[in-house]
Structure 1
């Protein structure tokens, strides 16, 4: 029972800023913004949404196959995935490009500023979903715009149920495109800001959107998540983390658990509870793929 994970593989350069961004940005001077942040702590991690979700699924013992692209510098990432037992048969190397790169800076309040270079991810639409036999479920995590659209069409045509998880890529789509992606999808997962943006772009409320899906899940950080089904909302309370160390990758940890539950026939609320637990485990550990979790 394989889970397909479409999305990005990236190298993350993560920096910790010991102050608050708000203390260094003057709201009335944004038109001439010129700031520099002193970041004494820096590390490089394996990341990207598809990579993080695949890592979380392997923590749960699931069979997972990422559909993604790597650049000429991606061999270490490929080897890491293989060492974790990930099926790498749907990965493609784009030798004339770098692997996607994310530069993430986090302040003391866990606010983040991110710069993202898509690299090989921008060509992910050249990596079609060629095999769906034995696939139980899929997720469309943030990817290139054309890749998201192409893979959604392919999954829908193949009859593979999937979670629409546009993340940071949501602003690339207009209202008509988003409504079509929702129609093709079986579930959607967004954070609260993305959910508001989706409503604004589509002109549909969360209740209305949920009536076009099996369920819509809106994550709320420490407060847990809202599960919308048939126009009705249920709050699934959050789990307390043992420590607040690093929020990077928490949303992907949640999605890994959500996918695991859905793939095993759980109700959405039960799967979301596991997602909250896994996200809390991740936030207590530094690094997007450096935590441990088991059922």
Structure 2
């Protein structure tokens, strides 16, 4: 049986800028109706980002077989070269020649307040990709992406009987209650943080037991409090793994999801899946950016054994 995991989601460049002042000293509360300001940003760095790439990066590190389905712009050559070097297949990535790759421009001040601008670019054309074109799959994830693409890929997976994980993330407000219920009914798994899950219940009118009862597993993350997995009428409490350092939470949720997907493909029980996911998040958070942490599959397995006293299968 194939172990290929289809990862539907965004590809993006993150432009991170640091302002060595405080926004509050420049933005006048009584003059916000006519803002015209410029912030000097002495430092600028570009990070490889996007949910699909972050998930694939971590799954590849674990020894999985990620297949990214996404759209990239005319400026995406460097990203494709990166995937080639990492050994991650690019055959399901569609290049949209008349637009740019999705980009997030982040300006942070000394208090870590942020002013962000997001350009969706090629992400808006994700619906041009077809799940049926990529061949046999073991599992898929529908991560934040273009709205129409997320709806289409979920329906494609359901039609092809490919079990998939629904991960609405920051795109959750883009969907109506009826659309979210459709996602839930089509999905095998759903993962969200505690805030997103509260919004999901509010939008759909469904309770936690209602939602969990329609899925093989519901996973709710709660930051430093760990996470909870509801499956087959059971609730599994997953501890938070202590990180070596808390440097940058960017991409931690994606690393967590990679751990879940690896466990699903390899037939782990849900407590093991949650613990591996938690470990992946802890490894990521100790590094800046979503794809700058490095570990081998054996190193991850060794650390898992140290943390939890047993070894998982791969």
Compute the TM-score of the two structures, normalised by the length of structure 2: 0.85
Aligned-pair Cα RMSD in Å = 2.5
* Unaligned ranges ≥5, structure 2: 302-314
Residue of structure 1 equivalent to 2:165: 163
Residue of structure 2 equivalent to 1:148: 150
Q: 2 CA distance for matches of 1:229 and 1:37? A: 49
Compute the TM-score of the two structures, normalised by the length of structure 1: 0.90
Q: Residues 14-38 of structure 1, C-alpha deviation per residue, up to 9 Å, x if partnerless?
A: 2356788899989x87975958777
Relative to structure 1, the CA distance from residue 168 to residue 113 in structure 2 (aligned partners, 3 Å threshold; closer, same or farther) is farther
In 1, are the aligned partners of 2:145 and 2:171 still within 8 Å (CA)? Answer: yes
261-270 vs 249-258, which moves further: 261-270
Residue of structure 1 equivalent to 2:275: 273
User: Residues 1-295 of structure 1 correspond to what in structure 2 (within 5 A)?
Assistant: 1-16=3-18, 32=33, 40-105=42-107, 114-131=116-133, 133-230=135-232, 232-293=234-295, 294-295=300-301
Report deviation, 1:94. 0.3
* SS, match of residue 89 in structure 1: coil
Aligned length: 294
* SS, match of residue 15 in structure 1: strand
**Higher Rg:** 2
Q: 2 CA distance for matches of 1:5 and 1:158? A: 15
Report deviation, 1:229. 2.7
Q: Residues 194-234 of structure 1, C-alpha deviation per residue, up to 9 Å, x if partnerless?
A: 11110010001122111111111111112211212356543
Q: 2 CA distance for matches of 1:134 and 1:118? A: 29
In 2, are the aligned partners of 1:56 and 1:256 still within 8 Å (CA)? Answer: yes
Report deviation, 1:135. 1.1
Q: 2 CA distance for matches of 1:137 and 1:179? A: 20
